Amino acid sequence: MRLLRRPVPAAARARLEAQGLPFLLARLYAARGVTDRKELDYDLKSLLPPAALTHAAAAATLLADALEAGARLLIVADYDCDGATACAVGLRALRQMSLGRGAQVGYLVPDRFTLGYGLSPAIVDIAAAQEPDLIITVDNGIASLEGVARARELGIATLITDHHLPGGQLPAADCIVNPNQPGCAFPSKHLAGVGVMFYVMLALRAELRARDWFADAPEPNLAHLLDLVALGTVADVVPLDHNNRILVSQGLKRMRADQLSPGIAALLAAAGVARARLSTFDLGFILGPRLNAAGRLADMRIGIECLMADDPGKALQYAQQLDALNRERREIESDMRDQAFAVLECLDPKEVPPGMALFEPEWHQGVVGILAARVKDKFHRPVFAFARGESGELKGSGRSIHGLHLRDALDLMSKRAPGLLLRFGGHAAAAGVSLKEEDFPRFRALFAEVARERIAPAALERALETDGPLEASCFTLETARLLGQEIWGQGFPAPLFADDFTVEQEKLLKDKHLKLRLNKNGRSIEGMEFNTDARIPTTPRMRLAYRLSVNEYRGVQTPQLLIEYRGESEEG
């Protein structure tokens, strides 16, 4: 492991300090590309306007016409946290803006195990039983050429709202809203699916306002949906550019102030998370996995119904179901991870391929994405993990390292081996693919070949980017709280520091958690390394990469270091 220090542009740091930021925050933000305090203004008035999002106005017209006509609207959602929150945003906003004037708004989620992802012809046929006039996709649809064509055959209009990268051809929908579609100049290309749907609802409200729709009724306050937007945005691991940080900051602000939906309040209660100190970490690693567990193991309708529940008691029932599903998911994941590691750890490090593809017949289709992420993290290689699907197909989910755009790699593979990939799609960092089981060996070999060609040798070396040392005087509860309240996430990483410490005490807890008493320049602080198989250190001096956090035990809060890496001291 190489520890790299993020460069801190001196001019940007000085300017941020001159604009009133504390020295530590000025240093951290300058290292993340912030040059002016305006980029840290997270007020709603700083959001990019909906009119800047291509076809948002056209979508608003389509929806407003449907509401005026008392039409049947059906949202077709994806089965992850982003899709669930986007569905809930659409349902809540459309039902509120319909004002009870005849329009009906329902939803449908494909079964991932039988129908797969997106607006397929099969899901359109199922949707047709509800006789919708308009199908609205959320977090999917940009690749659904056949599904949109089937809807057109049945006389059903389609509105696609998505954020995934499009293929060479767009579906012939009545309207497409996607910041990544060709010709869209929207400055923020990183909206999650829930962010796209929120923008469409903002545009719809403006259109209805222009039609005097709210002349005899109160205009809805869509800020009430920002807790859902924040959760879906963080959980989908989209880069937190300035626009996304506004959405997340506003959502967290509302949650911390108890201005949140009963469903998210119930999820927090089931997870034992305090609202006052809620952070992006809690959204991404505590709440998000609980919603995702429904789509992975059961039916995402449980998650959507939790988010839609207005009765706190009913919401808590759903949240407890989600919590139980998440515990089951962790157990399944642990077994699959142990199987994968047992095979891979027998390899000579020189034999580990630059791109890895794994498959075991008993693996769970809903958990292979998490498994791919775990193997990717351990071996620092792009990874696809596969499970059996329907009709002799394998369903694979991939995760990549910096240096290989996963969807582009699949696109190249499809051109080199026509017919090998039945379906594929995704992003730079994550993608999905389907293929015939007998073609798995060919996929594994071709993926390794493409990865070898595309990944620079330096990108295969494991490196950890840090913010350098943290002054011992900053090992305080005040500093830990300050850092915890800021907005961090994908593309805008939480601070990670690196220092040499003297180890004063060490203890292994439950055979997997390492508790250390550390000293830097005469200042002692507790450090924790969770879920480690490394032994207790034998040297009194260590080099650590760590995060400063708040530890709460029996109502008492203290600062502690969460250790992400430990190695030899640079002083030795």
DSSP result, 382-406: -EEEEEE-STTEEEEEEE--TT--H
Q: How many Å apart are CA 448 and CA 23, to the nearest integer?
A: 46
**pLDDT value of position 550:** 94
Q: How many Å apart are CA 87 and CA 96, to the nearest integer?
A: 14
Q: How confident is the model at residue 117 (pLDDT cuts 50, 70, 90)?
A: confident
What is the percent of the chain with per-residue pLDDT over 90, rounded to a whole number? 87
**pLDDT value of position 528:** 95
* Mean pLDDT of all residues in 48-65: 98
**pLDDT value of position 299:** 92
CATH number of the 46-260 domain: 3.90.1640.30
Q: How far apart are the first and last CA of the chain?
A: 17
**pLDDT value of position 553:** 87
What DSSP string runs through 159-186? EEE--SPP-SS----SEEE-TTSTT---
* Structure-block tokens of residue 306: 């939790």
* Structure-block tokens of residue 250: 């506003």
State yes or no: pLDDT of 435 exceeds 80: yes
**pLDDT value of position 123:** 96
Q: How many Å apart are CA 430 and CA 456, to the nearest integer?
A: 19
* Structure-block tokens of residue 93: 């906003």
* Mean pLDDT of all residues in 47-60: 98
State yes or no: pLDDT of 571 exceeds 70: no
Residues 6+ away with beta carbon under 8 Å from 277:
256, 481, 484, 485, 550
Q: Read off the amino acid at residue 86.
A: A
* Structure-block tokens of residue 170: 């767009």
What is the percent of the chain with per-residue pLDDT over 70, rounded to a whole number? 99
pLDDT in tens, 290-331: 999 999 999 999 999 999 999 999 999 999 999 999 999 999
State yes or no: pLDDT of 43 exceeds 70: yes
* Mean pLDDT of all residues in 379-399: 94
Q: How many Å apart are CA 562 and CA 572, to the nearest integer?
A: 23
State yes or no: pLDDT of 542 exceeds 70: yes
* Mean pLDDT of all residues in 163-176: 94
At 375, is the secondary structure helix, strand, or coil? helix
| Start and end residues for every CATH 3.10.310.30 domain found in the chain | 347-460
Q: How many Å apart are CA 343 and CA 459, to the nearest integer?
A: 24
**pLDDT value of position 496:** 98
Q: How far is CA 541 from the centre of its chain?
A: 37
At 445, is the secondary structure helix, strand, or coil? helix
Tell me whether strands 383-388 and 393-399 are parallel, antiparallel or unpaired. antiparallel
* Mean pLDDT of all residues in 111-127: 89
State yes or no: pLDDT of 71 exceeds 90: yes
Compute, in degrees rounded to 10, the torsion defined by CA atoms 140, 142, 145, 148: 60
State yes or no: pLDDT of 44 exceeds 80: yes
CATH number of the 347-460 domain: 3.10.310.30
Total number of residues shown for the chain:
572
Diameter of the chain measured on Cα atoms: 76
Which of these, 155, 104, 144, 105, lies nearest to 122 by C-alpha position? 144
Look-up of token digits 């604009």? 19
Residue 404 CB neighbour total at 10 angstroms: 24
* Structure-block tokens of residue 22: 């504390």
pLDDT in tens, 440-495: 999 999 999 999 999 999 899 989 999 999 999 999 999 999 999 999 999 999 99
| Start and end residues for every CATH 2.40.50.460 domain found in the chain | 465-568
Q: Looking at 342-356, 390-404, 428-442, which range is the least confident one?
A: 342-356
State the number of CA atoms in the 13 A half-sphere of 252 facing the CB: 26
State yes or no: pLDDT of 12 exceeds 70: yes
Q: How many Å apart are CA 37 and CA 370, to the nearest integer?
A: 37
**pLDDT value of position 102:** 96
Q: How many Å apart are CA 70 and CA 75, to the nearest integer?
A: 16
| Start and end residues for every CATH 3.90.1640.30 domain found in the chain | 46-260
**pLDDT value of position 81:** 97
Q: How many Å apart are CA 27 and CA 44, to the nearest integer?
A: 26
State yes or no: pLDDT of 351 exceeds 90: no
Q: How many Å apart are CA 172 and CA 548, to the nearest integer?
A: 50
| Segment (H or E) for 335 | helix 312-344
Q: Does domain 465-568 have CATH number 2.40.50.460?
A: yes
At 520, is the secondary structure helix, strand, or coil? strand
Q: How many Å apart are CA 306 and CA 163, to the nearest integer?
A: 24
Using the CB atoms, write b or e for 82-111: b if 16+ within 10 Å. Answer: bbbbbbbbbbbbbbbbbbeeebbbebbbbb
**133 in Cβ contact with 105 (< 8 Å):** no
* Structure-block tokens of residue 30: 């300058």
* Mean pLDDT of all residues in 549-572: 88
**pLDDT value of position 512:** 85
Q: How many Å apart are CA 503 and CA 479, to the nearest integer?
A: 22
* Mean pLDDT of all residues in 252-271: 97
Q: How many Å apart are CA 356 and CA 460, to the nearest integer?
A: 13
* Structure-block tokens of residue 166: 């499009």
